[in-house]
A and B are shown apart, each in its own frame.
Chain A
Amino acid sequence: MLDDGPLIPRNRALHPNPFDPGYKTSVARSPHLPLLAMDSSASEETGPTFGHGQLGALDNNLILNWTRGAAPAIGERIVMHGRVLDERGRGVPHTLVEVWQANAGGRYRHKKDGYLAPLDPNFGGCGRTLTDAEGRYQFLTIRPGAYPWPNRGNDWRPMHIHISVFGHSFGQRLITQMYFEGDPLIPLCPIAATVKDRAQLERLVSPLDMANSKPLDYLAYKFDIVLRGRRQSVFENKPEGV
Chain B
Amino acid sequence: MIQTLDMLAETASQTAGPYVHIGLMPSYTGNGQIYDLELGQSPISDGASGEIIEITGSVYDGMGLAMRDALIESWQPDARGRFAGQDGADPKVTGFCRFAADATSGEFILRTIKPGPVALRDGRMQAPHISLWIVARGINIGLQTRIYFEDEDNSGDPLLARIEQPLRVETLVAKKTDAGQYRFDIRLQGDGETVFLDI
Contacts and interface: CB of A to CB of B under 8 A. Distances in A.
A38 B199 contact: yes
Contacts of B135: 175
A200 interface: yes
Contacts of B65: 28
B17 interface: yes
Interface string A27-47: 111111101111111111011
Contacts of A228: 10
Interface stretch (B46-54, B79-87, B174-182): B79-87
Contacts of B35: 55-56, 59, 128
Dominant secondary structure at the A interface: loop
Tell me which of B84, B118, B139 has the highest count of chain A C-beta atoms within 10 A of its own C-beta.
Answer: B139
Interface string A15-36: 1111010010111111111011
Contacts, number: 269
A99 B146 CA distance: 26
Contacts of A43: 75-77, 118, 126, 129, 131, 146, 199
A177 B14 contact: yes
A50 B39 contact: yes
B118 A41 contact: yes
B9 interface: yes
Contact of A48 (B33, B96, B119): B96
A124 B11 CA distance: 27
Given A29-B67, A29-B188, A66-B34, A110 B140 contact: no
Given A28-B189, A36-B159, A36-B198, A46 B22 contact: no
A10 B15 contact: no
Given A17-B140, A30-B188, A41-B121, A89 B11 contact: no
A10 B103 CA distance: 32
Contact of B197 (A35, A54, A125): A35
A15 B12 contact: yes
Interface of A: 6-7, 9-12, 14-18, 20, 23, 25-33, 35-44, 46-50, 54-56, 59, 65-66, 85-89, 96, 98-100, 108-113, 124-126, 128, 162, 164, 170-171, 173-177, 191-192, 194-195, 197, 199-201, 203-204, 224-229, 236-240
9 contacts: A37-B198, A38-B162, A89-B7, A100-B23, A126-B22, A126-B23, A162-B17, A192-B14, A201-B12
